[in-house]
Amino acid sequence: MSETYFEYADETVTAAEQYSEKIAARIRLTEIISALDILLLIFLIVQQQIQHIKAVRENHILSKKAYLDVHTGLPNKSRCEDLLNSSGFITEPLCFVMFDLNNLKEVNDTLGHAAGDSMIANFAHILRKVVPEKDFVGRYGGDEFIAILYDTTSGQADELLEKLHATIKQYHSSNMPDAISYAYGYSYSMNYKDCTLRNLLDKADHEMYLNKQAQKKKR
């Protein structure tokens, strides 16, 4: 074979190698771009998940705030109403207790609204402390509170109310100017057929009214 042939062959091989290198470079570049695209996609997905988690958490916080009485830290009337409205007929032993502060207006008029607010907050704190954690305690109105005692007999409810009275009395011994007076009434689910929480509230409210009137007669 002639020298020209070998020169031509060398040029062909060189050209092929150069072309192969260009193709390989393009492939590497494509792989790098693909890898970057994948990393970017993963980053965007992670960011979306983080934003979603933040949104869910913020919505949960806002939801809790919407149902929270800021002054007492207890569930507010909206939460109480939702609980009352969502209740069907009650088949288990349950006590519904209604509380009303007797002397809030008098405290507001004589000592000022700050003293009245303090009395509300202190009563709420004591009530939540006395009532077991499994049970519901909420602020139903300005000076009204409710407690729902689940899986509780009327005898156990009486014991709890006695404990509340003793705790309030102990509180008075160190806070004489901030005396808390309250009326209460409760209803027991097993005493009624086909009753709801709303029915029990009405009956407890009536019993509370009778208790308040009885206290007035003793003064």
Q: What was the pLDDT predicted at 133? A: 94
Q: What was the pLDDT predicted at 18? A: 59
Q: At what angle do helices 77-85 and 197-218 cross, to 10 degrees?
A: 130
Q: What was the pLDDT predicted at 218? A: 76
pLDDT beyond 90 at 6: no
pLDDT in tens, 116-149: 888 899 999 999 999 999 999 999 988 999 999 9
pLDDT (mean) for 15-20: 55
Strands 144-150, 94-101: pairing kind: antiparallel
C-alpha pair distances (Å), 88 with each of 82, 123, 195, 207:
12, 30, 8, 22
Radius of gyration of the chain (CA): 36
Greater confidence (160 vs 113) lies with 160
Confirm whether pTM is higher than 0.75: no
pLDDT beyond 60 at 167: yes
Which tokens hold the place of 165?
A: 């009275």
Distance (Å, rounded) from C-alpha 158 to C-alpha 169?
17
| Average pLDDT of every residue of the chain | 81
pLDDT (mean) for 5-32: 58
pLDDT (mean) for 197-212: 95
| Domain spans, the chain | 1-66, 77-218
Distance (Å, rounded) from C-alpha 86 to C-alpha 97?
18
pLDDT in tens, 27-83: 666 666 666 666 666 656 666 666 655 544 544 444 455 789 999 999 999 999 999
Q: What was the pLDDT predicted at 33? A: 64
CATH of domain 77-218: 3.30.70.270
Distance (Å, rounded) from C-alpha 118 to C-alpha 106?
14
pLDDT in tens, 188-202: 999 988 899 999 999
